Every structure is written in C-alpha cells, then in structure tokens.
C-alpha cells in the first residue's frame, strides 16, 4: 500500500483524515480510490476526465508527479492545493 496525504481543505473533505493507505499502481488510481472512499472529494482533485486539476500539486516521495506516475509499496504521495492570494 502507498500512503496518500492530503492537506488544507482537502483534508476536511476526506473525513478529517490527512493520511490514507491505498492500493494502486499510479497516482491517478490512488486518487480515484480516495474519491471512492470519500465522495465529498469528487471534483476537487480530479476533473470530469479523471485528470488532476491545475490547482492541485502532487508529489511522490518528494518529486513532482502526475496521474500516470507509478507508485509502489511504501511510497508517499502528497496532494496539496495551490495557494494564491496575498496583498499587492
């Protein structure tokens, strides 16, 4: 199993849990399984075509990943919403 970690508002939508152990061969498969477990997340991470939304950053063991990125036993996947705003 891989460890998928969600942060910020995504954590609340995932039942308040930030860490999820999931099976899957790619980042995309893990994210689909996460949505299956927590339907409140649907549309927030993956778009209607199953692609990771532009404002979501995904890292696999600290390296930037994408939906097709392979994952294996013990890998850590961090899912972070992009942060914007601030003063000008």
Q: What is the pLDDT of residues 71-85, one digit of tens each?
A: 999 999 999 998 765
3-class DSSP state of 27: helix
CB-based contact 64:57 (threshold 8 Å): yes
Q: What is the DSSP string of 18-77?
A: SEEEE--SBHHHHHHHHHHH-GGGTTTSB-TTSPBPTTEEEEETTEE--TT-B--TT-EE
pLDDT (0 to 100) of residue 10: 94
pLDDT (0 to 100) of residue 85: 54
pLDDT (0 to 100) of residue 14: 94
Given a cut of 60, whether residue 88 has pLDDT beyond it is no
Q: What is the pLDDT of residues 30-42, one digit of tens each?
A: 999 999 999 999 9
């Amino acid at each position: 199993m891989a460890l998928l970690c969600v942060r910020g508002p995504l954590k609340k939508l995932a039942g308040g849990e930030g860490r999820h152990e999931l099976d899957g061969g790619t980042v995309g498969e893990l994210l689909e399984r996460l949505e299956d477990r927590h339907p409140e997340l649907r549309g927030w991470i993956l778009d209607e075509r199953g692609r990771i939304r532009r404002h979501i950053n995904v890292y696999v063991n600290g390296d930037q990943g994408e939906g097709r990125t392979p994952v294996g036993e013990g890998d850590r996947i961090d899912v972070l919403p992009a942060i914007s705003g601030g003063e000008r």
